[in-house]
Amino acid sequence: MNKKLFAMLALVIVASMVLTACGGNPSTAAPAEPPSAETSAPAPTTAPAAPAPAQVEFTAPGYGGTLATVKERGVLICGVNSQVPGFGYVDAAGAFSGFDVDYCRALAAAIFGDPDKVEFRPVTASERFTALQSGEIDILSRNTTWTLQRDTELNGNFVHTTFYDGQGMMVPKDSGITDLAGLEGGTICVQTGTTTELNLADVFASEGIAYTPAVFDNADNTFAAYAEGRCDAVTTDKSGLVARRAVLPDPENHVILDVTMSKEPLGPMVRHGDDQWFDIAQWTVFAMITGEEFGITSANIDEMMGTATNPEVRRFLGLEGDLGLKLGLENNFAYNIIKLVGNYAEVYDRNLGPNTPTYIPRGYNSLYTDGGLLYAPPFR
């Protein structure tokens, strides 16, 4: 059964439970239990033994075996960017860094309790979906925008939005251009295989601005052409513009226009057909967000382990309940993510915070409690 069908069925079941609960006497309403053949048996006269840890049948339909493959291999293979500082970048020594790269490390920490059990596979915009579909990578974590076509014909499931972005436009400061209309008749550098290329066409057509696209196959070539003055402007996600401006020879001579051409919800993507893997990837994101919400950091988590009394925090840390087991992981998976990689804020600040060359104010990427869009479901 695919995930969406399963979700619909679950919704029907939950709705019927809710209706039953609402119609009944609230004081007798019990938490939902799995159906049991013994529900009508007389109540036992002795206290029941403590329930065994919940076992989840991971051979059921919807479990596509990715976790088993990754565990057997002993390393996660994560498709990443190598050309966008702050998000996915490889330095001269071959070391990967960035916000999307750290998500891969968090997933490795959740699975193996070791953030280094990950192999980074650089993929360009045009290569990324084939790499995921073919099984060359276990997950794509690379400034990828969630769209309907990618969700359907490209066989992908977007795990969750980890970075809310929008498309921008950068021009040389001395051009004096301040809005899109100022680019009338100009040449615009853009990368192929991206939503960027499509939005550029949509927005300029709807605003009636004539332009010539100069199309390149990766970020280095796109921005090299712009730096050489072969285009009047360059366009990509605003995050990408901030990132790539930082590595231009003269960052101070370039401005990002105060226009947002699209919505670009960026996040990791997995293949259709493996709900368990999807859940693991998604709850890794939720663990990072929840860590921030609870004020649990890599620095204070060990202390929290000894002092936490809030039941949800205790479940989050793996001190109570079996939440990790239900995913096919250890119960301390969220502990490992926070301890070994950090919560969302720590990862954000390390890569995009005020002390980095790729500083981007949190904006929409703040917790809902701070006026942003980050909101994780409960750990229960």
Ligand X SMILES: N[C@@H](CCC(=O)N[C@@H](CS)C(=O)NCC(=O)O)C(=O)O
As measured in angstroms, the least distance from the Cβ of 126 to ligand X is 7
d(CA 2, CA 346): 35
DSSP string, 188-216: EEEETTSHHHHHHHHHHHHTT--EEEEEE
Least distance from C-beta 81 to ligand X, angstroms?
A: 5
Residue nearest to ligand X (CB): 240
Please, which residues bridge with residue 187 across strands?
212
CB of 23 to ligand X, least distance (A): 47
Cβ atoms of residues 115 and 106 within 8 Å: yes
Is 91 within 8 Å of 314 (Cβ atoms)?
A: no
Only one residue has tokens 């939440």, namely: 323
List, edge to edge, every strand of the sheet that includes 139-140. Answer: 118-122, 76-80, 139-140, 269-271, 156-158
> Hey, which bits of 103-145 come out as E strands?
118-122, 139-140
Q: Least distance from C-beta 138 to ligand X, angstroms?
A: 19
Q: Which helix (H) or strand (E) holds 80?
A: strand 76-80
CB of 357 to ligand X, least distance (A): 15
Beta strands 83-84; 139-140: pairing state: unpaired
Percentages (nearest 5) of helix, strand, coil residues in the chain: 40, 15, 45
Contact 83, 220 (CB under 8 A): yes
Q: How far is CA 188 from CA 32, 223, 241, 361, in A?
A: 57, 11, 14, 26
**Contact residues for ligand X, defined by CB under 6 A:** 81, 83-84, 124-125, 143-145, 191, 194-196, 218-219, 236-237, 240, 244, 264, 266
Residue 87 or 316 with smaller CB distance to ligand X: 87
Nearest distance from residue 86's CB to ligand X, in Å?
11
| Residue 142 Cβ vs ligand X, minimum distance, rounded to whole Å | 7
Min. distance of Cβ 66 from ligand X in angstroms?
22
Q: How far is the CB of 136 from ligand X (least distance, A)?
A: 16
- Closer to ligand X at the Cβ: 85 or 328? 85
User: Any alpha helices (H) in 228-322, and if so which ranges?
Assistant: 238-245, 275-294, 301-307, 311-317
* Sheet bearing 211-216, strands edge to edge: 211-216, 186-191, 233-237, 167-172, 254-256
User: 154: burial class by Cβ within 10 Å (0-12, 13-18, 19+)?
Assistant: middle
CA 207 to mean position of chain CA atoms: 32
User: Cβ closer to ligand X: 87 or 204?
Assistant: 87
Query: Residue 244 CB, nearest distance to ligand X (Å)?
Result: 6
